[in-house]
């Protein structure tokens, strides 16, 4: 009887490992689907906000006053 159990145990462990692997793959697939769904919903909300509630005034970037010193002094170092 002990010999039979010793021969069957590796097959049982392999079966459990295969089932655990398949369950992990299915869980990962559901996580990807859930993430894609949440991302699509967030994208849809942002698209609707930008489409219907766009800011009325266009903000122009301000030009900063300043000067540029162009020289080749750094080449002498």
Q: What percent of the chain has pLDDT over 90?
A: 55
Mean pLDDT throughout 2-20?
93
User: What sign has the CA pseudo-torsion 20, 25, 26, 30?
Assistant: positive
Query: Higher confidence at residue 3 or residue 65?
Result: 3
> Is 80 exceeded by the pLDDT of residue 32?
yes
Is a pLDDT exceeding 80 seen at residue 2?
Answer: yes
Distance CA 24, CA 31 (A): 10
Which pLDDT band, with edges at 50, 70 and 90, does 5 fall under? confident
Output the CA–CA distances (angstroms, integers) from residue 14 to 4, 7, 28, 31, 75, in the order listed: 16, 12, 21, 26, 69
Indicate the pTM of the whole model: 0.54
């Amino acid at each position: 009887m002990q010999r039979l159990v010793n021969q069957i145990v590796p097959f049982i462990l392999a079966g459990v490992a295969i089932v655990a692997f398949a369950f992990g793959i299915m869980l990962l697939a559901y996580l990807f689907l859930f993430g894609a769904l949440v991302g699509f919903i967030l994208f849809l909300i942002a698209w609707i906000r930008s489409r219907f509630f766009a800011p009325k005034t266009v903000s122009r970037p301000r030009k900063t006053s300043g000067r540029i010193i162009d020289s080749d002094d750094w080449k002498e170092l």
